[in-house]
Structure 1
Amino acid sequence: MAVTALNSSSGSRMPLSDTHQHLLFRVGDEFFAVPLLEIEVILPVPDLEPLAQAPDFVAGLLRYRGRLIPVIDVGLLRGVGAIRRLISTRLVLVQSPDGEPSRLALLVEHALEVAGLSPVDRLPEAVLGEGGHWLHPNVMTTGSSLVRSVDWASLLTPELAALCPPPSLK
């Protein structure tokens, strides 16, 4: 399955296809990345449907191609407050490397750059902290900034998946 990004100025789709390419975004003063091969599509943020009985970091539900997809607010997850709705705010629909359709979307801010990144170090578990379960221990750099890679699959808990099961086939 080809990975695409939506060009917000023209509405056209752009192919993205390099195993070392990552979408960079910022949360507070920190930089984070998602590998492009794990992204189904990048979208502007539409209105989301509320999701009762969801964890606090769930911003709501997105209806996308007949599916209900939970949207994770990465700012709330990181503990720096809700992601603001800026021009650079995007929904990143993530998918497994085998191309299975998205079951999760990340609400991110300052999603403006794609960069080629490689791990340069690995953080010990003690540094990751209790709230870092959704981050890979590998650290990358861009310029003088450290970049953490998002382990989005760890966010799709059975409890969250049960709140919005895949569409049934009739």
Structure 2
Amino acid sequence: MSVSTITETVQYLTFKLADEIFALDVAKVREILEYTTITKVPQTPEFMRGVINLRGSVVPVIDMRLKFGMSATDQTINTCIIVVEVTLEGDTTILGALADSVQEVVEMEPEQIEPAPHIGTRLNTEFIKGMGKHEEHFVMILDIDKVFSEQEMAALQTSGTTE
């Protein structure tokens, strides 16, 4: 989905990773949880911190900072897990996205959003819907469905099942 497909005002949940502000379409967000104990799963990608028990369901938890090549998320009083729905090839998976802190829900008009920068051919910026401007700060609007590859989603779905 490109910026040209954003034709109406959308509400976004903004959150911080390090000093950067990111945003997700609120329609993809199920809930926000306080940081809780995460059970490590062996032989999973480094960015997968483990799984949590969410009302009887096993939910994989992803460290968004590690996924984006930053240092691991430190646990603070503001650290939280954003529970999101990710759709890939028609399958919907519930996962937790570890964030340094949740900021607020903001509405952005289409004219407030610019296309994601094209930084050569070697960097994949497909998962960035656009760059929004909110209170003089840039906000990277994520397409959560494109943050993970098919192989990564398959690994997450496998680790999230209880067999």
| Same fold (TM > 0.5) | yes
User: Is the contact between residue 22 and residue 115 of structure 1 (CA under 8 Å) also seen in structure 2?
Assistant: yes
Q: CA deviation at 1:110?
A: 2.1
Letter in structure 2 aligned against 1:123? A
Aligned mates of 1:29, 1:118 — CA distance in 2: 24
Which digits, 9 at most, give the CA deviation of each residue in 1:77-115, with x for residues without a partner? 122211122222111000259xx9752110001213221
User: Is the contact between residue 49 and residue 63 of structure 2 (CA under 8 Å) also seen in structure 1?
Assistant: yes
Per the alignment, residue 34 of structure 1 pairs with: 24
Q: TM-score, normalised by structure 2?
A: 0.76
Deviation larger for 146-155 or 51-60 = 146-155
Aligned mates of 1:87, 1:105 — CA distance in 2: 17
Per the alignment, residue 55 of structure 2 pairs with: 65
Letter in structure 2 aligned against 1:103? I
Aligned mates of 1:128, 1:121 — CA distance in 2: 19
Quick check: 1:139 aligned with 2:131?
yes
Deviation larger for 49-58 or 109-118 = 109-118
Instruction: Give the one of 51, 62, 81 matched to 1:91.
Output: 81
Letter in structure 1 aligned against 2:132? M
Quick check: 1:164 aligned with 2:156?
no
Identity %: 24
Which digits, 9 at most, give the CA deviation of each residue in 1:7-32, with x for residues without a partner? xxxxxxxxxxxx72211111122110
Change in Cα spacing, 1:49 to 1:128, as seen in structure 2 (3 Å) is: farther
Which digits, 9 at most, give the CA deviation of each residue in 1:52-72, with x for residues without a partner? 111101111011122111111
Aligned mates of 2:101, 2:132 — CA distance in 1: 18
1:40-59 to 2 correspondences below 5 Å: 40-59=30-49
Instruction: Give the one of 113, 117, 136 matched to 2:108.
Output: 117
Q: CA RMSD in A?
A: 2.6
Structure 1 segments, 4+ long, off by >4 Å, are none
Q: Which runs of 5 or more residues in structure 2 are unaligned?
A: 1-8
Aligned mates of 1:96, 1:34 — CA distance in 2: 11
Per the alignment, residue 82 of structure 1 pairs with: 72
Task: Count how many residue pairs are aligned between Structure 1 and Structure 2.
Answer: 146
Deviation larger for 47-56 or 28-37 = 28-37
Letter in structure 2 aligned against 1:160? L
Per the alignment, residue 13 of structure 1 pairs with: none
Change in Cα spacing, 1:96 to 1:71, as seen in structure 2 (3 Å) is: closer
User: Is the contact between residue 128 and residue 137 of structure 1 (CA under 8 Å) also seen in structure 2?
Assistant: no
Change in Cα spacing, 1:128 to 1:94, as seen in structure 2 (3 Å) is: farther
SS for the counterpart of 1:95 is: strand
Q: CA deviation at 1:49?
A: 0.5
Per the alignment, residue 95 of structure 2 pairs with: 104
